[in-house]
Structure 1
Amino acid sequence: MIYRHLNVVSSLLGESNRKLQSAIEQVVILDTQMTDLRRVMDAAPHTYNNLLQESISLSSELGNRVQDVNSALVEFARQGYDPSTLLNLTETATIASNISELETTEAMSSLTASMSAFNIEASDSISIIDKLNEVDNNFAIDTKTLSDAIERSAAASNTFGVEIDELIGHISAIGITTRESGSVIGNSLKSIYSRITTMQPAIDALAGIGINVRNSAGEMRPVSDILAQLAGQWNTLSAEQQQNMGNIKTCPSY
């Protein structure tokens, strides 16, 4: 009987020691993260304390480990975002990782690419994830594919007049049909957007079916308008015309 009680006490002490060790390790991790945050962000001392408290609250609210939330916080700070936007971005990236197969770092890359290209404020960053999640829920393409493609093509799409909703539509249409990876789709769209109005073979081919890349004022039309017009005429083209349009050598092959 005595040995049995000793075994129970020993087990309890062992469990207590493990919990204590785990608590100490977490404190060390948090302290290291806060040190990293101070290195990459210049702010008043109370700002760091406030961010830590908000991070703890956010982790509790979303059901994530506080060190994971802090990791995203530090990385966004490293990119130069100020304290007023850090929490919005961290919350969005964490939610993205919770509702999709994206890692937090992957969500961060897609977010920053989209925000930069389409002038989306940090406070509205959740709208990007909402769009991706909506498509994921309703079509045969996942958030990771969409996210990877956006990261690679967002800058080009904005430059050539393609809005974020249109970009997501183009990615989805290609992805559902081809089942290619997001990186392949994104790189393809980046090339298509940049070449369709700048390479003479593409311009001539479009002109041959009555589609001008410039408007009546001589200004370059948004690529999204050109593609929409092409889509509207596609079924009126002969098989030969369709094949010629699809085989223009300026379009990339992946």
Structure 2
Amino acid sequence: MKVKWSASTIFYGTVRTAKEFATILVDIDSKLVSIQKVVDNGTDIGAVFDRATQSAETFGQSISKALDAYIEFARQGYKGAELGTLADAGLVASNVGEISSQSASEYLTASLVQWKKETSEAMGIIDSWNNVSNNYATTVEKLAQGQSRAGATAKAMGLDFDQLNAIIGTVTASTKQSGSEIGNFVKNVLPRLISDPAQDALKMVNVSLTDKQGNLRDIVQVYTDVANKVKELNDTERISVMEGLAG
């Protein structure tokens, strides 16, 4: 793969030996080859490398990590300007979430696909994760994990992205469980809230699924009430409630 390598070492720090420099070149070349395998024929890989270099410099990441983001989005079929925009968003998510650029890109892709969002909305997703993590005792990674597990189900049940974020943020903060665990929990619970075991679990914490007129309450508020109530329970009671809500 023939590209200009001179700028690449800037983002790796000082290269002390020829062997270290060679390792860097092999790593970058390998990732460019991976991108070339999934993009359209005729794509200018040199231009992709130049764009990745700009991304790395802008967001304080190594070119290797920037290319990880490009690889993930290229695998999903994104190309051209969209590829660069999403890779930038992946690097921002990596920075604010303190997670790898590859993981950040995977989570972002999952949310874009499940919620059928446009490329231009990628930064809005990250802003939402960051805002919720700043207001709850949770993390961007937990929110992203939860969204990747429960997004499609939540959308089908009539919730929007921010409502699911609020649920995941509230419950992860209350239970200290991982985002994946809470995402799976929400994914299983949403369709089962009307089951007898779920109703019994809600009664255990004195939370009702319906209002005084018998209308279905806002699901977000139901989850918020449950999350606040389980703080008062011991571990055994908390597990019992969670299992009951899971049907």
TM-score under structure 2 normalisation? 0.74
Q: Please, which of 15, 25, 28 is the counterpart of residue 27 of structure 1?
A: 25
Aligned to 1:179: 176
Instruction: Return the offset for 1:32.
Output: 2.1
The structural deviation recorded for 1:203 is 8.5
Q: CA deviation at 1:53?
A: 0.8
Q: Is the CA contact 2:172–2:178 (under 8 Å) kept in the aligned structure 1?
A: yes
- Percent identity at matched positions? 27
Structure-2 separation of matches of 1:208 and 1:80:
45
Q: Which amino acid aligns with 1:88?
A: T
Matched-pair contact (CA < 8 Å) for 1:85–1:122: yes
Q: Which amino acid aligns with 2:27?
A: I
Structure 1 residue aligned with 2:58:
61
Shift of 1:101: 2.4
Please list the CA deviations of residues 25-65 of structure 1 after superposition, one character each: whole Å capped at 9, or x if unmatched: 323322222222111111324x3222111111111111111
Which structure 1 segments of 5+ residues have no match?
A: 1-15, 214-223, 233-242
The answer to whether 1:140 aligns with 2:137 is: yes
Is residue 2:49 matched to residue 1:52? yes
Once the two structures are superposed, what CA deviation does each residue of 1:136-184 show, in whole Å capped at 9, x if it has no partner? 2222111111111111111100111110110011112212222221112
Question: For each residue in 1:193-216, what CA deviation from the matched residue of structure 2 results, as whole angstroms up to 9, or x when unmatched?
Answer: 12235x477689856964345xxx
Q: Deviations over 1:209-249 (max 9, x none)?
A: 64345xxxxxxxxxx735547979xxxxxxxxxx9xx9698
Query: How far apart are the structure 2 equivalents of 1:56 and 1:169?
Result: 35
Question: Which residue, out of 150, 154, 157, partners 2:154?
Answer: 157
Deviation at 1:84, TM superposition (A): 2.9
1:36 lines up with 2:39 in the alignment: no
| Unaligned 5+ runs, structure 2 | 1-13, 201-207, 226-236
Alignment: residue pair count: 214
CA contact (8 A) 2:73 2:109 kept: no
1:191 aligns to 2:184 (yes or no): no
Q: RMSD value over aligned CA atoms?
A: 3.2
The equivalent residue for 1:13 is none
In 2: Cα distance, 1:208 partner to 1:126 partner? 36
The superposition leaves residues 78-102 of structure 1 with CA deviations (integer Å, 9 ceiling, x where unpaired) of 2222223111111111111112222
Instruction: Find the partner of 2:84 among 83, 87, 108.
Output: 87
CA contact (8 A) 1:157 1:193 kept: yes
What one-letter code is carried by the residue in structure 1 that aligns with 2:128?
K
Following the alignment from structure 1 to structure 2, what is the Cα–Cα distance between the partners of residues 248 and 96?
Answer: 30
CA separation of 1:70 and 1:247: change in aligned 2, threshold 3 A: closer
Taking the aligned partners of 2:60 and 2:243, their CA distance within structure 1 comes to 51
Which has the higher Rg, Structure 1 or Structure 2? 1
